[in-house]
Chain A
Amino acid sequence: MKNLLKPTRREFIKVVGLSGSGLFLASYIPFQDVLAKAVDEPKIFTPNVYLRINSDGVVTIIFHRSELGQGVKTALPMLVAEELEVDWEKIVIEQSDADTKYGNQTTGGSTSIRLNYDPLRIAGATARVMLITAAASRWNVPPENCYAENGFVINKLNNEKLGYGELVEDASKLPVPKNVKLKDPKDFKLIGKRIHRIDTPDKIHGIAKFGIDIVIPGMYYAAVSRCPVFGGKVKSFDATKTKSLPGIKGVYQISRGVAVVADSTWRAFNGRDALEITWDYGKYANINSVDIHNELLKHSKEDGYEFEGKGDVNKKPEEGEQAIESIYEVPFLSHSPMEPMDCVAKVENGKAELWVPSQSPQDARTQVANALSISEEKVTAHITLMGGGFGRRHVNDYAVEAAEISKASGNPVKLTWTREEDTKFGWYRPPSMNVLKGSVSKDGKPLKFSHHVIAPSIIQMRFAPNLPPAQYDIKEGAVGLQYQIPNLRISGTTISTHVPISWYRSVYNSQNPFASECFIDELAHAANKDPYEFRRDMLPDDSRLKNVLIVAAEKSGWGTPLPKDKGRGIAIAECYESYNAQVAEITVESNKIKVDRYVVVVDCGVVVNPDIMEAQMQGAIAFALSGALKGEITIKNGGVEQSNFDDYEILTYNEMPKVEVYYIKNFYKVGGIGEVGMAACPPALCNAIFAATGKRIRKLPIHLS
């Protein structure tokens, strides 16, 4: 990968001057600049916002999403490069800023590949067609007689070739074609290959710049003190002690607390800790976890709004019908990416410039514009690398804080949160309670299944208080089950909570399938059936989910004997257009769980990069196991009790199981891979615990004994 500088402004101007109205014009270039042509500067071909080729042949692909570890900074450019027919080793990949011209830049819901699989291939193919047309015209042959390969257009008749760089000027004059033909998947050269990630060397060499590593001229360092109770605010504060400390540049009240600006991070932290603040704790200062549990419990007695129904789950039982009922419960969880929240902001002359590790950089612009009462066009958001996100970096509260501090202090600042702040001021995975009821017939056939989800709704709490029940997000991962059960009811009730909640990797798929897939296991045992066969026999024959289930059973050796104290558990899930089956193999000794092995089978349609897909599955197992085995955020006196990795533990190296990943090779519509591995992991684990010990786990995190 060449590491070239961005083209200078003048280079870009020159292209615009040449390219005429048929091509994309960067809207921020003032007209007088367009006229300022320079004679000897390289020309650039920019048929769309996702790529540019300059006259020395350098191909730059614009990466317009956020890289937080999931590999899209490699996988998305692969899509452009595939159709553009360029040498992957020679392209330059450039991170874009936040800009509406790229469409949706929100990196969440496993959408990066799903939403861009076609548009980015079209972007590459469009450029390829234009370059071929330009070459054909120069050779005076029909374009059909030419093809593109490795950054060259080749004349089939005489093997004459022209490099893309030589065609830049001619191609720029052509109209941008519509409806270009994309490659046949059998001709793919990059898609489906284990291409190395472009970001690995800089990351492991310590060179890569994450948000927390950004330094800009004249920058100071900032820290914030916030009310420990959600919803509380500053009543008054005394900064005398803080101001007596060395290196303190200022103390400012901002919308969420009190900020200290200093000449180093450590001094900012110390200055913040020396503040004497009297808080108005607000109306939630007496709320504890037990209150939230009781609220969930209260609503668990209701029927809930029916999302899906079939037959009659209240039908009079038939002879020999066996009914069971269970309640499953999960807690708040914190995303806790390894890089805590941070943002560099420079606010001056009515403009703001951000260097922000955000999964929603366009929203960062909006939020900062609103906070500063300026228009969005006045906010530039540079997207940095980020040390994990898992959904936390969709909420740009840290960017707003940084911008407010920069404005108040009149200096560029880097705001850094401590781990304790990250843990205590998160936007947590919501807790839920799940009432599961079901029955099986005398001969072990499923008869009834109902799942009532009681949970706070992220959409309702954050965006739409009057959200119609049919649109409750809490149904995600609970509805759409493929099991053929004659009487079925999926319903939900939302509760409100003062604790901030947001999207956590796989969102409600991190909790609803835990309840339903453990309960399906309970039904299988009630029916005296093997849990794998019970599932398989309930799934339609053409189901992709059934297929991954069968493969998982085969690969895991399902049914083969295991030593004493060991157990296997199986679970399936559909998540963001991908299908997944998992088998967990565990050992339980003296009430201690050791997770030995996971077999993960995924059908996500087209696999753009198998190595990255496998990494996402391995990572999802670790992330989901952290939650299932350890994760719990509790509320005391209205705030979060936990503070660091000692009381909010995550999985460690020694606890990581062997993970075998298998995938179904096909060219179906591309599904998501960043989150699908989360859903089946906890139920497979808990079903394995039952197999090993006879203990049914219905509450996370798992406590044996």
Chain B
Amino acid sequence: MPRYIITVNNKKKTVEVDEGTPLVWVLRDSLGLTGTKYGCGEGICGACTIHIDGKAERSCILSIEDVGESSITTIEGLVENPEYPIFKKWIELEVSQCGYCQPGQIMTLAALLQQNPKPSRKEIDDAMNSVLCRCGTYYRIKQAVDELVEEQS
């Protein structure tokens, strides 16, 4: 079986998986990083969003070969700092319901704000519109994003 060395949350990890295995299953099954969720497998819902070199990507449509030497960050990496403003805001506003999509929501927003602390309304909408939530926490996500952007500026 092919062997790959990938960098996840600043640590080198060796995984043995078949060629073409989607990153989401490498993270979840091989590395036990289950904070990254499987939702659709087609890059539609965003539940599996992670960062590749700081950019939000869908881990269900990236295969292990696509990763190369890029630096992968998962929700487990982000939470190494639990005081990160997004987490605090999410708790303050009680954004989460079932919580399944929330790591994807947070990873998407974190990438946006890390690249651009003062995103425009359109940039926010374009980024966040691509992450689905069936519980309908969007209203509170909007409140949280607006307050975070306001506080950063």
Contacts and interface: CB of A to CB of B under 8 A. Distances in A.
Interface of A: 68-71, 196-197, 199-201, 203-210, 212-213, 215, 221, 246-247, 264-267, 270, 336-340, 385-390, 416, 418-420, 611-612, 615, 618-623, 626, 644-646, 650-654, 656-659
Contacts, number: 193
A265 to B, nearest CB: 5
A216 to B, nearest CB: 13
Nearest to A618: B139
Contacts of B44: 644-646
Contacts of B134: 336-338, 388, 390, 623, 626, 650
A13 B30 CA distance: 39
A612 B135 CA distance: 12
A385 B99 contact: yes
A205 B82 contact: yes
B102 interface: yes
B45 interface: yes
B18 A246 contact: yes
Given A196-B94, A206-B36, A656-B138, 15 more contacts: A206-B33, A206-B75, A264-B25, A266-B18, A266-B25, A338-B39, A339-B100, A385-B98, A387-B37, A387-B98, A416-B38, A419-B42, A622-B136, A646-B42, A656-B136
Contacts of B32: 215
Contact of A204 (B29, B40, B91): B91
Contacts of A210: 37, 100
Contacts of A386: 98
Interface stretch (B51-59, B111-119, B125-133): B125-133
18 contacts: A68-B98, A204-B106, A205-B75, A206-B103, A213-B28, A246-B1, A247-B18, A338-B98, A386-B98, A388-B134, A618-B137, A622-B135, A623-B136, A645-B132, A653-B125, A653-B128, A654-B128, A656-B136
B139 A659 contact: yes
Q: Chain B contact residues: over half helix, strand or loop, or mixed?
A: loop
A600 to B, nearest CB: 11
Interface of B: 1, 17-18, 21-22, 25, 28-30, 32-42, 44-45, 47, 74-76, 79, 82, 87, 90-91, 94-103, 106, 125, 128-142
Interface centre among B76, B87, B138 (most CB of A within 10 A): B138
A71 B98 CA distance: 8
Nearest to A598: B139
B15 to A, nearest CB: 11
A644 B94 contact: no
A653 B136 CA distance: 9
List of 7 A-B pairs having minimum Cβ-Cβ separation, nearest first? A206-B35, A622-B136, A387-B100, A203-B99, A69-B98, A206-B75, A69-B97
Contacts of B135: 69, 338, 388, 619, 622-623
Contact of A618 (B1, B36, B39, B140): B140
A653 B137 CA distance: 9
Nearest to B103: A206
A266 B21 contact: yes
Nearest to B131: A653
A70 B97 contact: yes
Contacts of B125: 653-654
A161 to B, nearest CB: 33
Nearest to B60: A419
Contacts of B94: 196-197, 200, 611-612, 615
A199 B99 contact: yes
B35 A205 contact: yes
A671 B68 CA distance: 55
Contacts of A644: 40-42, 44
A338 B138 contact: no
Contact of A658 (B95, B98, B139): B139
Contacts of B33: 206
Contacts of A419: 39-42, 45
A370 B49 CA distance: 40
Contact of B140 (A247, A420, A615, A650): A615
A339 B36 CA distance: 12
Contact of B90 (A200, A390, A650): A200
A200 B35 CA distance: 14
B17 A619 contact: no
Nearest to A611: B94
Contact of B103 (A201, A204, A659): A204
Given A196-B91, A266-B25, A338 B100 contact: yes
A385 B128 CA distance: 25
